[in-house]
């Protein structure tokens, strides 16, 4: 099994028949030195790179564990980093594992130097997504917006519809924080999430975020219609929050869903939002709403 895993990691992209090679590259996490076509004269040069097969195997095992066992993936990433020379790099694997574990600051510190390559046309889509999430959670809104816009343009490489729905929802929430971007753009992404032909995985978050974006964009009638169709605000007490939902965003979405339904919950949620996001572009907007409540 390890041999098969390592062999698959070392297969050149040119061996894939009938597949857009740019698309393959965009979704492949393989380090360049683990691609057989990248340096034919050096990849298996045991005298110069004796640890390379072990490095590539550690990276492969790390990515295999990433979705279900991020702690194990991180351990493999640390092993790869110890085996590899500085320029080999296992930082994307380590950063993605840390992001999955909710350790956003160290994840950001590992992924931020990779930003240029992740944003390139052949950069790893899921690596860029991890960077976008860490930037958004930590309040680096301009970087998060740039990363999410790039991800949206490559959404076809996110093959699962449920994952694509999550991407559009997360992007919509993140872009609302960037003062240089109209909330109408966030509305567009959230509507794309709603339009996908699958049940919403976190309908209360998606519909609440869409309604909130419309409300912030001054489209009150549409926002009210979304609230009418959205799940109850009590849904937040019955299911875990998705990883991308920050406490401030959660408070704002709860406040929106509670409007016209429960003034006490709405007031408490807006107050929490103002407290959690004192520098937000939407602070005054929330305070105006608070001034209208008893």
Can you give the pLDDT at residue 144? 99
**What is the total count of domains within the chain?**
1
Task: Give the SS3 label for residue 154.
Answer: coil
Phi-psi region of 232 (alpha: psi -120 to 50; beta: other; left: phi over 0): beta
HSE value, Cβ hemisphere, 13 Å, CA-based, for 116 = 1
What pLDDT tens digit does each residue of the chain (294 aa) get?
Answer: 444 444 344 333 333 344 344 444 445 567 777 876 555 444 445 555 678 888 989 999 999 999 999 999 999 999 999 987 666 679 999 999 999 999 999 999 999 999 999 999 889 999 999 999 999 999 999 999 999 999 999 999 998 999 999 999 999 999 999 999 999 999 999 999 999 999 988 999 999 999 999 999 999 999 999 999 999 999 999 999 999 999 999 999 999 999 989 999 999 999 999 999 999 999 999 999 999 999
179 contacts 281 by C-beta, under 8 angstroms: yes
C-alpha count within 13 angstroms, C-beta hemisphere, residue 209: 36
Task: Report d(CA 34, CA 71) in Å as an integer.
Answer: 23
Domain of residue 172, residue span: 160-294
Residue 228 lies in a domain: yes
Would residue 189 count as lying in a domain?
yes
Q: Tell me the angle at which helices 263-276 and 247-258 cross, rounded to the nearest 10 degrees.
A: 160
What tokens does 188 get?
């567009």
Domain-located, residue 148 = no
Distances 151 to 30, 97, 100, 164, 203 between C-alpha atoms, Å: 19, 19, 18, 10, 22
CATH number of the domain encompassing residue 244: 1.25.40
- What is the per-residue pLDDT for 122? 87
Tokens at residue 12, please? 């050149």
Residue 164 near residue 158, CB atoms below 8 Å: yes
DSSP code of 35? Answer: S
Q: Is residue 1 part of a domain?
A: no
The pLDDT of residue 51: 83
Note whether residue 32 is domain-resident: no
Give a yes or no: residue 125 inside a domain.
Answer: no
pTM of the entire structure? 0.86
| Distance separating alpha carbons of residues 244 and 112, to the nearest angstrom | 18
Query: Is the residue at 132 inside a domain?
Result: no
Residue of 155, 247, 249 lying closest to 206 (CA atoms): 249
Asked if the structure places residue 53 within a domain, the reply is no
Q: What own/partner pairs with CB < 8 Å and gap ≥ 24 does 150-155 have?
A: 150/119, 151/125, 152/189, 154/26, 154/125
- How high is the pLDDT of residue 30? 72
d(CA 23, CA 13): 10
Integer Cα distance of 245 and 6 in angstroms:
36
Distance of CA 112 to the CA centre of its chain: 14
């Amino acid at each position: 099994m390890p041999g098969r895993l390592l062999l698959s990691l070392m297969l050149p992209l040119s061996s894939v028949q009938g597949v857009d090679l740019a698309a393959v590259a965009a979704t492949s996490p393989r380090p360049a030195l683990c691609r057989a076509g990248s340096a034919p004269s050096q990849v298996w040069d045991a005298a110069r790179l004796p640890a390379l097969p072990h490095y590539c195997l550690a990276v492969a095992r790390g990515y295999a564990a990433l979705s279900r066992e991020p702690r194990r993936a991180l351990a493999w990433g640390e092993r790869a980093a110890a085996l590899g020379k500085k320029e080999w790099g296992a930082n994307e694997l380590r950063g993605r594992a840390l992001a999955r574990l909710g350790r956003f600051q160290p994840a950001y510190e590992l992924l931020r130097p990779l930003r240029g390559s992740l944003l390139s046309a052949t950069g790893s889509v899921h690596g860029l997504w991890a960077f976008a999430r860490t930037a958004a959670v930590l309040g680096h809104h301009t970087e998060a917006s740039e990363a999410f816009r790039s991800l949206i343009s490559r959404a076809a490489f996110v093959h699962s519809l449920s994952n694509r729905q999550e991407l559009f929802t997360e992007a919509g929430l993140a872009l609302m924080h960037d003062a240089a971007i109209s909330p109408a753009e966030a509305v567009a992404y959230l509507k794309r999430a709603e339009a996908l032909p699958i049940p919403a995985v976190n309908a209360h978050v998606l519909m609440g975020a869409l309604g909130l974006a419309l409300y912030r964009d001054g489209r009150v009638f549409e926002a009210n219609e979304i609230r009418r169709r959205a799940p109850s605000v009590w849904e937040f007490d019955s299911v875990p929050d998705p990883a991308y939902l920050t406490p401030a965003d959660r408070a704002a979405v709860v406040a929106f869903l509670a409007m016209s339904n429960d003034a006490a919950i709405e007031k408490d949620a807006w107050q929490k939002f103002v407290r959690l996001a004192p520098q937000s572009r939407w602070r005054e907007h929330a305070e105006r709403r608070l001034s209208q409540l008893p």
